[in-house]
Structure 1
Amino acid sequence: MSLFRKPQPLAVLVVRDAPDVVAGLRRALETAPDAERPGLERALALAEESAGRSDAELRGRWVRQRLDAVGYEGPADSVEAIKNLRQAEPGLSLRQAVTYAKETAATEA
């Protein structure tokens, strides 16, 4: 690897809007009538669970969705999985695909 080569940024950006959703659900729950409370409480629990996921876990879910879409069911970090991932997402470099594949395998273990 060359010392003068710029590191390649990751291509998958994780958008974290879950904290805003959680805050909105909490505000709604404060003024909700009794009939709406159970549904809002369940929605709040799901949003809080989602907000607690790591970026690697979210990228892993993204990778698995891409692999599932092309019918690949094997280990996420295999050569075949990386090939399928790059075919499903042609903009990914080999380095990015390998990084994502390793993250996915780690989160699925």
Structure 2
Amino acid sequence: MFGITKPEVQTIVVRDADGIEAAVREALEGATPEERAGLERALAIVRDAVAVPPERLRARWVRERLDVAGVTGPADSIAAIKALRQAAPGLSLTAVVELATSAKAVEASADRA
């Protein structure tokens, strides 16, 4: 029908890693020799966090909620969908299903790697 389209679900990943990276870099510039090694290690950790793609962050978010709920099966199972709906009641069923499906795909690709 004209004007009716499938609604797209958009889940935004918000992360502060860029700001944290800048703060650690700034601290490193003025660091004493004693502080330097620790700040260099912290900067490496933050850079690793910045490099994590959004789909992996969403999959981790899903799995964390499922772990809290005691769901150990596939991320897109009925039990998982129910647990995610309870953990995040503000999300629509469509959003939860897309998050769960994406999480399962990420977990499957990690298993193959």
- Shared fold per TM-score greater than 0.5: yes
| % identical equivalent positions | 51
Under a length normalisation based on structure 2, what TM-score does the superposition of the two structures give? 0.82
Tell me if structure 1 keeps the 8 A contact 2:9–2:94. no
- Higher-helix-fraction structure: 2
Give the RMSD, CA atoms, in angstroms. Answer: 2.1
In 2, Cα distance between the equivalents of 1:56 and 1:2?
32
Q: TM-score, normalised by structure 1?
A: 0.84
Are the counterparts in 1 of residues 62 and 100 from structure 2 also a CA contact under 8 Å? yes
Judging changes above 3 Å, is the alpha-carbon distance between structure 1 residues 3 and 68 closer, same or farther for their aligned structure 2 residues?
Answer: farther
Q: Quote the residue 2:89 is aligned against.
A: 90
Query: In structure 1, how many angstroms separate the alpha carbons of the residues matched to 2:92 and 2:12?
Result: 15
Any unmatched runs of 5+ in structure 2? 109-113
Shift in alpha-carbon separation, 1:40–1:91, aligned structure 2, 3 A: same
Shift of 1:60: 1.2
Could you list the runs of 4 or more consecutive aligned residues of structure 1 that deviate by over 2 angstroms after TM superposition? 1-10
* Alpha-carbon distance, 1:13 to partner: 3.1
Count of residues paired in the alignment: 108
* Structure 2 counterpart of 1:65: 64
